[in-house]
Amino acid sequence: MSDQTAIIRLDHVWFSYGNDHVLKDVSLTIQSGDFVGVIGPNGGGKTTLLRLMLGVLEPARGSVELLGGAPRKTRMQVGYVPQETSSNILFPISVFDVVLMGKMGKRGLFHSFTKEDREQAGETLSELNIYPLKNKNIGDLSGGQRQKVLLARALVGKPRILFLDEPTASIDTQGQDEIYEHMRVLNDGGTTVLLVTHNVGAVSSYIKSIACVSREVFFHPDGVLDEATITKAYGCPVDIVAHGLPHRVYHEHGGA
């Protein structure tokens, strides 16, 4: 792809929590229309990487560009699904109202929602097969159901980029496949997707490229991991598990 289609850029980015260098000298370019699988060991910096791209965190050194500008100014054009689903579950708000909150970035905090906003919220709930939950309190849902609601909130704003941090961690295998297939449809329609996952095998037929994050970032635009890179990232040879079955997604010694 031409560099003119770049949608995210990180240039020599460093980030630390105290004296702990979580990310070191990261330079990365994501092209429009890509479907990136973000993998790596726990504590390797995957979530931190996403938060830097979103402008939630600021790099200690280096620069981050999102959609051609500073992330704090452009992130209203993206959607984000966090890994954690239990925050504020006691807050008395309905599923439908949670999804409508996904429109706030474009409407503004003090603007009322339109009829079109409400119709789009209902359509998004239907697309994810959770419309019957629309009047339930968010705190009364299972972890998997809450995760789907958060996904609906991210999607209702029609984002140009969708960031997902282990979105299927609380969802059964059938539900995972439904979400991955939905992501494929969105990506085919032009939405750029960045998906943090521990299960590359399950999404290997969906992703186009892989970013392996372990303080440094090793980017593979062809979606293929070589044995040396994945061993360096994880510290040992790794079999990626798909639906409980070992599934290698990288080539060994040049073979398939």
- Please check the confidence at residue 23 and state whether its pLDDT lies above 80: yes
Q: Largest Cα–Cα distance of the chain, in whole Å?
A: 59
Percent helix, strand and coil across the chain, each to the nearest 5? 35, 30, 35
pLDDT above 90: residue 106: no
Q: Which CATH architecture has domain 3-249?
A: 3-Layer(aba) Sandwich (3.40)
Confidence (pLDDT) at 177: 84
For residue 246, pLDDT beyond 90: no
Q: Is residue 250 pLDDT above 70, yes or no?
A: no
Evaluate if residue 230 carries a pLDDT over 70.
no
Q: Quick one: what percent of the chain has pLDDT higher than 90? A: 52
- What average pLDDT does the structure give for the chain? 84
- Reported as a pLDDT band with limits 50, 70 and 90, residue 104 is confident
The region, left, alpha or beta by phi > 0 then psi within -120 to 50, assigned to residue 190 is: left
Residue 176 in this model has a pLDDT that exceeds 90: no
> Model-level pTM greater than 0.95?
no
pLDDT in tens, 30-88: 999 999 999 888 889 999 999 999 999 999 999 999 999 999 999 999 999 988 656 65
pLDDT for residue 1:
41
Q: What are the structural domain ranges in the chain?
A: 3-249
Give the pLDDT confidence score for residue 111 in this predicted structure: 67
C-beta of residue 85 within 8 angstroms of C-beta of residue 151: no
